[in-house]
Amino acid sequence: MLENEKSVPKQTFKRLPEYLTFLRGMAEEGVINISAPIVAKGLNLNEVQVRKDLAAVSESGGKPRTGYLLRDLILDIEKYLGYDNVKDAIIVGVGHLGSALISFEGFKNHGLNVVAGFDTNEKLIGTEVHGKKIFPIDRISEICKSSNVHIGIVTVPDKYAQEICNIMVESGILAIWNFAQVHLKVPDNIIVQNENLAASLAILSKSIKKTQLNK
């Protein structure tokens, strides 16, 4: 997480990207002003909570009756999340998942620019995926340091994840987005965001069962 002048609860921080997506959609429809009740209704959230969330990150604040100036609110949320300053990242492990992530254009809307991929597969090294060149693992340090990259995405098999993590840390990576299903050991100053796909699937399955039982 980036340092900000104001801090918000973790749950509020997690909701901000959802607000941003909704607000951008409203802006595309030509909306000029937006209120907390409209956002709450559009996202099926608690109105009081939405008011608190938006007030916590808005620089200008909302006004009675008219609400927030939509353009300014979007900029405030982008600034808080760091989306107003695109950050470069690398991906290590260019299999199906890694290739899909490299090819995902939507990252740029959220402040992430994947500059290169790394792999051990000789057939991939030297090729390009969606315009991004694939390098051998032993060039991670060189490229991260020369390009001042501080974000690393791990999409390698679980048994190699810690080794890759160690290389990233030694190369100056400060934040790691981990798709491997293992707990990575890192120094205290390194941020790790674990993306547990199996856990997410379990939550979806359980939610479906509950919905079926309540019918």
| 180 class by beta-carbon count within 10 Å (0-12 exposed, 13-18 middle, 19+ buried) | buried
Burial pattern 7-31, b for ≥16 Cβ within 10 A else e, equals ebeeebbebbeebbebbeebeeeee
Domain boundaries, the chain: 10-81, 87-199
CATH architecture of the domain covering 87-199: 3-Layer(aba) Sandwich (3.40)
Contact predicate 114/131, CB 8 Å: no
Contact predicate 127/134, CB 8 Å: yes
- According to CATH, the topology of domain 10-81 is Arc Repressor Mutant, subunit A (1.10.10)
Tell me whether strands 33-34 and 87-92 are parallel, antiparallel or unpaired: unpaired
Residue 198 is predicted with a pLDDT of 67
**What is the residue whose two structure tokens read 């050991």?**
185
Residue 11 is predicted with a pLDDT of 85
Residue 58 identity (one-letter amino acid):
S
Residue 131 is predicted with a pLDDT of 94
Over the chain (215 residues), the average pLDDT of each successive run of 10 is: 58 88 92 94 94 90 85 90 78 96 88 93 96 97 92 96 97 93 90 79 71 65
Tell me whether strands 175-178 and 191-194 are parallel, antiparallel or unpaired: parallel
Q: CA–CA separation, 104 vs 102, rounded Å?
A: 6
| 128-129: strand order across its sheet | 128-129, 132-136, 112-119, 87-92, 151-154, 175-178, 191-194
Q: CA–CA separation, 33 vs 66, rounded Å?
A: 6
